[in-house]
Amino acid sequence: MKMSGAQMIIEAIIAEGVTKVFGYPGGAIMNVYDEIYKQNDFEHILTRHEQAAVHAADGYARASGDVGVAMVTSGPGFTNAVTGLATAYTDSVPLVVISGQVPLSLIGTDGFQEVDAVGISRACTKHNYLVHDIAELPRILKEAFYIARSGRPGPVLVDVPKDITGEIAEFVYPSDVHLPTYKPNYKGNDRQIKKAAEAILKAKKPLLYLGGGVVLSNATDVVRRLAEISQMPAVETLMARGVMGADNPLLMGMLGMHGNYASNMAMSETDLVISLGARFDDRVTGKLSEFAKYADVIHVDIDPANIAKLVDVDYPIVGDINIVVEKLIGHLEERIKPERYQVWRDILKRYDELHPLTYHDSDEVIKPQWVIERIGEKVGADAVITSDVGQHQMWAAQFYPFDRPRQWINSGGLGTMGYGFPAAIGAQVACPDKHVINITGDGSILMNVQELVTASENKLPVINVILNNHFLGMVRQWQTFFYDKRYAETDLSYQPNWKLLAEACGGAGYDVTTKAEFDAALDAALEGGKVTFINVAVDRLENVLPMVPAGGALYNMLLEHKES
């Protein structure tokens, strides 16, 4: 069948089973949007900024487990999308982003709205393409979806010149992909897996170190089974919240810069780290020379480039967590004695009792941690929680009772302010029957506030809970601790009227200064069916604790802040 390049893009999207696309049109991609207008197989959701389009596709992908798709035009349309690509790349989110480009004859001439999309995105995509010939387009589109979802997932850019989208050629969509230089290893090395099992059997203080790869590989069930049969304690990274379940007695909590005391001490004293889908990020490890310094390391990861990148690894295993852990259980199930680790579990339980994750509640001013806990009490596992970046993100990770994977959606690696609201829109599209709540700050929410219109137009009842301390909170905290309270450009006292802003865009707004008002506002938002801003006046100077100072060892935590 002969068709235009624009039609090929539409047919490929349909063939890949995509039902939702996020985007923003423009001149170079106009032919594709003309074909979108003519079809009824997928829904296109018009965001109000290209960055938001990619973040929404990202949130959709994280919530659903499917590949997210976004479309943008050339030039500033593409450069606006770069932050979204980088956000997805650092957190290994499967996306296909299709960008328009100036015609082939204008490339390299500084034509109107021309930028080198492939060059710019090379560092923040898993792979990228510039289509030079319409005959290549079907193959490239097939490869793009395959690369995005296979191995370690990630965003793939397909940059399509406008003349290619208008040309006519034969369309045969490939049934499979042939990439000789790209062959992800899923099975894991059997000999290494057996050695890892022997190490676990010999260890006295083993620790499961769970990263976002467990979520990405849908390996929660098998990882929980490993923990159950072995009774090994576990810690989660920021990206793995929900893997073990909030009430699991084997879960010590989150570790790292703002991890709880028991988790950080567990990593500091363990004699064997079993790392599953974690990349030893600096916010987790702290001072590398002191990180798990008494431990051997088993590192399971689908991406060989991640293994031993930052820490020495004794048992490297490249493979899919589902397959590797299933084999590991086979070696352990009849031999492991869970009581072997009872003393170790008792030590960690004592650490948790000594310094539990807590805060000083107040009836005079709303504490942000109380807000998080209250949301958890009201909606719990029924909600999908997104966040922006800052103090509110850490409080949400610490205090929300995450019970399942894909319940917690945030920008972990890049730390993108403005991510939470459009990601929540994508998550709401993916999960129309669940409450989606974006926990945000008064700094972050303004960075993509225009998406109020997107949510309102599409009747997406995303609830934005603004923990409003009139500060750029996390930077203010560092200025308090390490810069003698020189609050350089972090005071955000000048703000819009959040209630009126939400209402002006067709949503609902609430200003909250008491706990009773918050309960009433949240109840109304949950029942209201509209995009909502709940502006909560919280303690301006509340800090996120515990905290490991940058470059410090995990065991040297600030557990409280004392005024000098």
Give the residue numbers annotated as catalytic, written as ranges.
50, 112-113, 162, 474
**Strand extents, DSSP E, 58-141:** 68-72, 95-101, 127-130
If one counts every other C-beta atom within 10 angstroms of the C-beta of residue 551, the result is 9
Take residue 309 and report the two structure tokens written for it: 């990148």
**Run of H or E residues at 475:** helix 473-482
Instruction: Collapse the DSSP code of 538 into the 3-class scheme (helix H, G, I; strand E, B; otherwise coil) and give the result.
Output: strand
What is the amino acid identity at position 483?
Answer: Y
Helices (H), 91-211: 117-121, 137-149, 162-166, 190-202
Is the Cβ–Cβ distance between 386 and 424 less than 8 Å? yes
How is residue 67 annotated by DSSP?
P
Q: Which two tokens stand for residue 296?
A: 């051997």
> Could you tell me which residues are beta bridge partners of residue 157?
97, 128
- Give the C-alpha separation, 510 to 242, whole Å: 29
Rounded distance, CA 514 to CA 457, Å? 31
DSSP string, 329-363: HHHHTTT--GGGGHHHHHHHHHHHHHS-S-----S
CB within 8 A of 349, min separation 6: which ones? 262
Beta bridge partners of 198: none
Q: Report DSSP state, residue 66.
A: S
- Between the alpha carbon of residue 101 and those of residues 163, 165, 404, the distances in Å are 9, 10, 41
* CA–CA distance, 113 with 26 (Å, rounded to integer): 10
3-class DSSP state of 173: coil
Residue 43: beta bridge partners? 20
Q: What is the DSSP string of 369-416?
A: HHHHHHHHHHHGGGEEEEE-SSHHHHHHHHHS---STTSEE---SS--
The DSSP annotation for 269-314 comes to: H-SEEEEES----HHHHSSGGGTTTT-EEEEEES-GGGTTSSS--S
Q: Which of 63, 44, 84, 21 is nearest to 447 (CA)?
A: 84
